[in-house]
Amino acid sequence: SRAFDADRDGFVISGGGGMLVLEDLDHALARGAKIYAEVTGYAATSDGHDMVAPSGEGGERAMRLALDTLPEGRKVGYINAHGTSTPVGDVGEIEAVRRVFGKGSTPPVSSTKSMTGHAQGAAGALEAIFSLLMLDNDFIARSINVQNLDPALDPSEIALERVDNAGLDSVMTNSFGFGGTNGSMILSKYKG
């Protein structure tokens, strides 16, 4: 998969599965669970624009709505893009990110699908896990297989190299499905 590459031509299908446990804070503390993060923002939208070519509007609304619940003092320091390597989808998503965060103010973005392919129904759970691992270990995974960055994208927007000691407080992960179904979730370090 070559998300954000000028010559990308579609996603690479893959398989996989993942599971996350969401539970009440008091319950997690009572059982001594390791708390990787807390969900501090979430939204789901539908734009119904096209079966496989998203407009970007629904994803933009999902990101904005997720940010609306982000507690004051928290900051998204990384975005795991839906990034499927489609000619329309990748640029449309980054354009939506620019509208939400402001051009020149976007957090680093990468697509973990560049490393794993698109696990379709399992992709959202897997990418939430990858985002949690980056948050927990304070690094940003790069988008691999980018030989020639799409000229519509700014090199400062896309994580083309791994970033260690990233200073992450919160991360956003986007999942935009067939038919215009969009989800954005923000995970923040637990400060208990």
User: Structural domains in the chain?
Assistant: 39-188 (3.40.47.10)
- Segment 7-63, tens digit of pLDDT: 999 889 999 999 999 999 999 999 999 999 999 999 999 887 665 566 678 899 999
Task: Summarize the confidence of residues 82-96 as an average pLDDT.
Answer: 90
Angle ∠(145,37,115) on CA atoms, nearest 5: 15
Task: Summarize the confidence of residues 87-101 as an average pLDDT.
Answer: 93
- pLDDT score recorded for residue 87: 86
Cβ–Cβ under 8 Å, residues 169 and 75: yes
Which residues, in sequence order, are CB contacts of 149 under 8 Å at separation 6+? 4, 5, 6, 155, 158, 160
Pick the more confident residue, 159 or 54. 159
List the one residue out of 173, 116, 122, 168 whose CA is nearest residue 143: 116
What sign results for the dihedral spanned by CA atoms 44, 189, 17, 86? positive
User: Looking up tokens 């997720």, which residue turns up?
Assistant: 66
**What share of the chain in percent tops pLDDT 70?**
96
Cβ–Cβ under 8 Å, residues 141 and 159: yes
| Predicted TM-score of the model (pTM) | 0.94
- pLDDT score recorded for residue 18: 95
